[in-house]
Structure 1
């Protein structure tokens, strides 16, 4: 990491040294559809693709320009529930990744046990909560400079030279290339400029936190401009592993982006972009949280097993932040790609955009899947490689009464995964009941090797029309036609310690016991389908600065395939019907109001919505090590509904505040054959006429459970974000500027951390508060100190159950209090 920071420092220094050369070459060329030239005056933000006439000098107070509908508009004029964050807010609040953004956007939920197992949801829906399965689509689309990122793992890196982030809530399939049923995160980076500019930022903090960011932009010739940005983050882990003597769950990130803009004339921009990001932390470890009784025999639950093996957790207080994991940990994660974007202003009212992109993702993990210091699972790693290609064409028309967007999108993806899992010397004692098999240690060295690949193809035509029927009354219909095809291959080969193959069925008693841990399987699922979706929005400007709107959307999330294996029948044969999952059918209703008052010093936006999903794609699990840790199935119906509030105020110069809130009621309406939570599982098989045992009482267990009416996992009913900043003019060290103090915070009520809600894995609600204090000079210098999680709140990001229904509960503690300082210079 030291070498990375030497490299980054050299680039930053080079940016400063090159200032005169760039300045001498500075061109004066401009374009009506000029690329990102972000500027902020008070609460005014001008950003991506803003037309030349939209500048801070002629934009009213508290107006934020966005491109959510693929054209430049004031946020308050767009009948969509949107949270918008500019670059300065992102930098100063420390929200430098999508995971951090959720602290500023209450309706956004991001949960990650490691980069691959990352769930990004809006209003409680988007992707199944739990282990990632590559065979399904994301419900929340992540876009960076118009390029779709197909897997959340490729979007968990530090933001790099970001100008603005827009979080769009609700279906967006008639506006965006890839269909998105829950919303979209639209990230726009700063673009090359024909005026020399740049920035350098250095942060140091507790836990040996070091972060360096640098960017430089300017002309290479009269018609060519370039921009280069780099970022590096390094931080010691927050959990100490007494087995290895290392701090785990560290940060080790490096990113670089380069862009070249070619502007042959005032009506055409062609931008070639390339980026690369790498992470190589010792991550991701858990801590012991506790024990919750299951229906397994008492001598096979965690306390008895641990006693027999002479094991005790290193600490029973998870916030001692101690672990004793004995397997290697790694979260090697590399992603990058290239894109070519062309924007042609055909005339004053129409433009054509083309985005051609290729991206890759390379994932190299190592995990400890028994969550203990015992050698139960000695190896668990599933490295994966992805290539994706996408092409989008878009035509925009803007007229006096008619606005329109028409687009076409094509997408191709290939994912290859090679998995290896192996049992250790404590596995037989942990899992088996036959004393002879335990004594002979028949599970030690049992190895499963997985080979799987996925080919996905998608194509769509989409469009949206806005018609101003009368002054203030607008009707906005949209439609989408989509085709999706998926082909998959999953093969698991299981061998014992001597290298002998374990058969998929039959075999001797030892092989049958071994197959209960790792079951051989071969499936080749496939899926293809056409879908049609549409939406209709009606908005009306009741008066100046007051707009109300209503939206109905009938949309879908395409079907998928199970890429991690499927359940087997009593003879060990895979249940092929479980290889595919049905498309989700989504109906969405929303009403809202966008208002400004007090001479535009205050903004208040409200939204209320109800979304129902039939054939909801849920993540289920049977709790075993390798039989199936997780697979996809359809729940009959889920529903999410709620109310959202976004309020900001600037009563006088130098004082700003905001309060955003969300009430989210998301539940399974009908899911009668769901997997049972651990307290209702693990026992003997229930027989006809026999009642299952009570929760947590050893005895017979039901094969499935009815969880209808239960809350969806990962969803807090109440969530808020709030902030305040005050600034006063100050002359310091010969520079004019302002002294400022800011606070921002977030609150989330409790949520379930298990796909089938369990009494043991409800994460308690928590509140996080951050402070910052600094000086902004008029010359671009910004120096400030910060404290995050200032009151050292103890909270969990996730709770997980150990395998085999032993009642072991592990968890991922959230970050403790951290503090530091930042120096930034914009030039």
Structure 2
């Protein structure tokens, strides 16, 4: 049935495109690009293939949103981009305000624990952001956001099996510029953003800067907290972000950029909403989905810092060379109360500590009828962490007779990765209309892992001072699992090791019917890195890489200068899926977790992005996505019942109207976003979000001289409540009732997206 559906969709696209080809060809004869009116379809430039090209020339399914559109729509964080990109999920994960959950076409990674690799790659100016902590980026001095759907294994390498999201910052003009903007809004939102640039040497050396101080009260509060004197705001925001950039234009052919950025998020830990009342205390179901209870500290911290160097040399008219190097560090101590009660039923304080360095040398070569891009890439990263699964109430109940004052399963360790890759991709003209794309990447990866894992009959926290008066005894680390500690200093002498190598190809055909209409078909492969189980309780082998094989058939088409239709049909096979199986042991302290390549699924679907320029002032955009999922192999324990965070349908309808007056230009925006039903976890429907629609509207203004600007934005106008994360440690009985799960309570917890908000921005630039 699945294949029949896909074949029928291909047939429908073929018939539709055949009908479109003739009018498009006629349109080319009637008017050349030079004679088109100024108003009309925007010419969008992207760097999806690591070279600057028109969106309509790139045979990849891409959504690109530029700086002006981001500003006019009031888009402030990366997660808001999901509304405008079909079949895309970009949401804030459970427990924090900064951790990203990303899925494209049903491929991603739900668990942000160290060692687990993402399925969607996040890039800032071609620098890979390896971990989801802190990846909910606030948009500062951005030129555009690109969402590339489908595996990007040739040009971008591992961990892009679902796709890639590129954050591209604005280049400097060389002039002295300064922009200040302030925002006030719902829940006492108060933001300040400062950006600018100064020429140190005219036309040669520039320094740019950006700073943001973002604050907002909580959408809800912690109704009860076990610790006195805490900030009880829930879903609040307290974040600062800084950027410094030094650009050196040595000549027309040689460009260098040194960039530094730092983000510090001190927003509170995010408390979940109890969907069921507690069996062990008086924590009931709160009135607001943003209210919670906790027995942990409410503080939270995410610190990110990065340094990158780019050198771009145009050797001659045909050849260009580029180097991109980076170093990124992140540190995040966090408090996640799984049960969300004032008792220590299931608390998980944790620390994430990551760092990585990358080096990439790239060459591009263009000549008539051919373009090539290739290079080498090196990655060296360390991802470490520690968490305490505190089941204190259960420990006192089960082991109190043995003198237990709590129960903690402590897990800590590191997953270290080194990888080297070489890649090349070229497009070749076979005729004046037909071209072929061939690409390949070879990746060699070495990993080692150490894990400490054991049980203590007391409540422990990662560090001294985690809660008031808490001092951690020295040498408290529990027995290790992977590796050997020969001298008793808590350091593993022989971590578990594994290595993999992978060849990932890409083959495509493009047929340019005319300057406004292109067919493309492609096969691409990508892989997600093999890994060790950071929660391991037995010495098990590492899981092999996941692999995605993807087939696409699509069109890029402009009808005159008024209508654009880009449509892609795809089918992907997601193989060797890594999955954690949870096997209950003899008692509460024996919770085995096994990691293996035990599942396989197929996703077929369609994506369409349409733009209609109704008048010089009025434009409509429509983005549609559809996915059909089948599970082909299902040896997971418990078994998979579907895909996480993957609705069958997504739709966004947007309108933009420009009104020119003597006071300046006013731009009115409105969009309606619909997201179909989806489950939060692949093995359970206990947390299931019904389809919902979200309405947003805004008006932006800019003065006639371009100095003053302002905007008013209303988001989620109908105040929809929708799940973006959760925990389901509860048992559902045959009669539909619920019983206690791990920790001895009914732990069914939901985290929700933003409520209705209104904010006003005023700014000045010179």
Fold conserved (TM > 0.5)?
yes
Question: SS of the residue aligned with 1:490?
Answer: strand
Cα gap change, 1:784/1:247 in structure 2, threshold over 3 Å: closer, same or farther? same
Q: Is the 8 A contact 2:354 2:381 kept in 1?
A: yes
Structure 1 Cα separation of the partners of residues 575 and 386 of structure 2: 33
Structure 2 Cα separation of the partners of residues 765 and 263 of structure 1: 51
Cα gap change, 1:498/1:69 in structure 2, threshold over 3 Å: closer, same or farther? closer
Matched with 1:711 is: 642
Cα gap change, 1:104/1:114 in structure 2, threshold over 3 Å: closer, same or farther? farther
Q: Is the 8 A contact 2:455 2:589 kept in 1?
A: no
Matched with 1:723 is: 654
Shift of 1:591: 0.4
Q: Is the 8 A contact 1:721 1:744 kept in 2?
A: yes
Shift of 1:117: 5.5
Structure 1 Cα separation of the partners of residues 413 and 673 of structure 2: 41
Q: Is the 8 A contact 2:95 2:271 kept in 1?
A: no
Matched with 1:522 is: 481
1:240 to 221, 244, 248: 221
Structure 2 Cα separation of the partners of residues 482 and 243 of structure 1: 51
Structure 1: any 5+ residue segments left out of the alignment?
A: 1-53, 292-301, 500-517, 567-573, 677-704
Cα gap change, 1:241/1:636 in structure 2, threshold over 3 Å: closer, same or farther? closer
Matched with 2:444 is: 483
Please list the CA deviations of residues 204-243 of structure 1 after superposition, one character each: whole Å capped at 9, or x if unmatched.
Answer: 0010111221111131113211110111211111121111
Matched with 1:663 is: 626
Matched with 1:504 is: none
Cα gap change, 1:57/1:645 in structure 2, threshold over 3 Å: closer, same or farther? closer
Matched with 1:120 is: 102
Shift of 1:660: 0.3
2:333 to 364, 367, 379: 364
Cα gap change, 1:498/1:747 in structure 2, threshold over 3 Å: closer, same or farther? closer
Shift of 1:404: 0.3
Q: Is the 8 A contact 2:271 2:293 kept in 1?
A: no
Matched with 1:470 is: 431
2:270 to 273, 278, 284: 284
Q: CA RMSD in A?
A: 2.6
Q: Is the 8 A contact 2:41 2:563 kept in 1?
A: no
Q: Is the 8 A contact 2:687 2:750 kept in 1?
A: no
Q: Is the 8 A contact 2:65 2:144 kept in 1?
A: yes
Structure 2: any 5+ residue segments left out of the alignment?
A: 1-33, 226-230, 461-476, 484-495, 731-740
Structure 2 Cα separation of the partners of residues 628 and 343 of structure 1: 52
Structure 1 Cα separation of the partners of residues 135 and 192 of structure 2: 19
Question: SS of the residue aligned with 2:337?
Answer: coil
Cα gap change, 1:266/1:60 in structure 2, threshold over 3 Å: closer, same or farther? farther
Cα gap change, 1:632/1:666 in structure 2, threshold over 3 Å: closer, same or farther? farther
Shift of 1:812: 0.7
> Is 1:69 the counterpart of 2:35 in the alignment?
no
Q: Is the 8 A contact 1:402 1:467 kept in 2?
A: yes
Matched with 1:231 is: 212
> Is 1:613 the counterpart of 2:574 in the alignment?
yes
Structure 1 Cα separation of the partners of residues 536 and 99 of structure 2: 17
Matched with 1:808 is: 747
Structure 1 Cα separation of the partners of residues 379 and 134 of structure 2: 16
Please list the CA deviations of residues 322-345 of structure 1 after superposition, one character each: whole Å capped at 9, or x if unmatched.
Answer: 322222233310101111100000
> Is 1:185 the counterpart of 2:165 in the alignment?
yes
Cα gap change, 1:824/1:618 in structure 2, threshold over 3 Å: closer, same or farther? farther
Matched with 1:787 is: 714
Question: SS of the residue aligned with 1:103?
Answer: helix
Question: SS of the residue aligned with 2:43?
Answer: coil
Higher mean alpha-carbon deviation, 196-205 vs 801-810, is at 801-810
Matched with 2:376 is: 408
Structure 2 Cα separation of the partners of residues 730 and 339 of structure 1: 44
Structure 2 Cα separation of the partners of residues 152 and 118 of structure 1: 5
User: Normalising to structure 1: TM-score of the pair?
Assistant: 0.78
Structure-to-structure mapping, 1:425-444, within 5 angstroms: 425=393, 427-429=395-397, 432=398, 437=399, 440=401, 443-444=404-405
1:263 to 249, 253, 278: 249
> Is 1:461 the counterpart of 2:422 in the alignment?
yes
Structure 2 Cα separation of the partners of residues 357 and 631 of structure 1: 34
1:86 to 66, 73, 77: 66
Question: SS of the residue aligned with 1:91?
Answer: helix
2:543 to 564, 581, 606: 581
Structure 2 Cα separation of the partners of residues 722 and 469 of structure 1: 39
Please list the CA deviations of residues 296-338 of structure 1 after superposition, one character each: whole Å capped at 9, or x if unmatched.
Answer: xxxxxx6xxx2xx4x233435454x332222223331010111
> Is 1:534 the counterpart of 2:505 in the alignment?
yes
Structure 2 Cα separation of the partners of residues 413 and 83 of structure 1: 30
Cα gap change, 1:669/1:465 in structure 2, threshold over 3 Å: closer, same or farther? same
Higher mean alpha-carbon deviation, 220-229 vs 193-202, is at 193-202
Q: Is the 8 A contact 1:148 1:178 kept in 2?
A: no
Structure 2 Cα separation of the partners of residues 59 and 487 of structure 1: 57
Cα gap change, 1:630/1:160 in structure 2, threshold over 3 Å: closer, same or farther? farther
Name the count of aligned residue pairs.
681
Matched with 1:654 is: 617
> Is 1:199 the counterpart of 2:179 in the alignment?
yes
User: Normalising to structure 2: TM-score of the pair?
Assistant: 0.84
Matched with 1:492 is: 453
Question: SS of the residue aligned with 1:348?
Answer: coil
Structure 2 Cα separation of the partners of residues 640 and 271 of structure 1: 41
Question: SS of the residue aligned with 1:330?
Answer: coil
Shift of 1:631: 6.2
Matched with 1:690 is: none
Q: Is the 8 A contact 1:177 1:392 kept in 2?
A: no
Q: Is the 8 A contact 1:428 1:441 kept in 2?
A: no
Structure 1 Cα separation of the partners of residues 214 and 613 of structure 2: 34
Cα gap change, 1:96/1:471 in structure 2, threshold over 3 Å: closer, same or farther? same
Question: SS of the residue aligned with 2:435?
Answer: strand
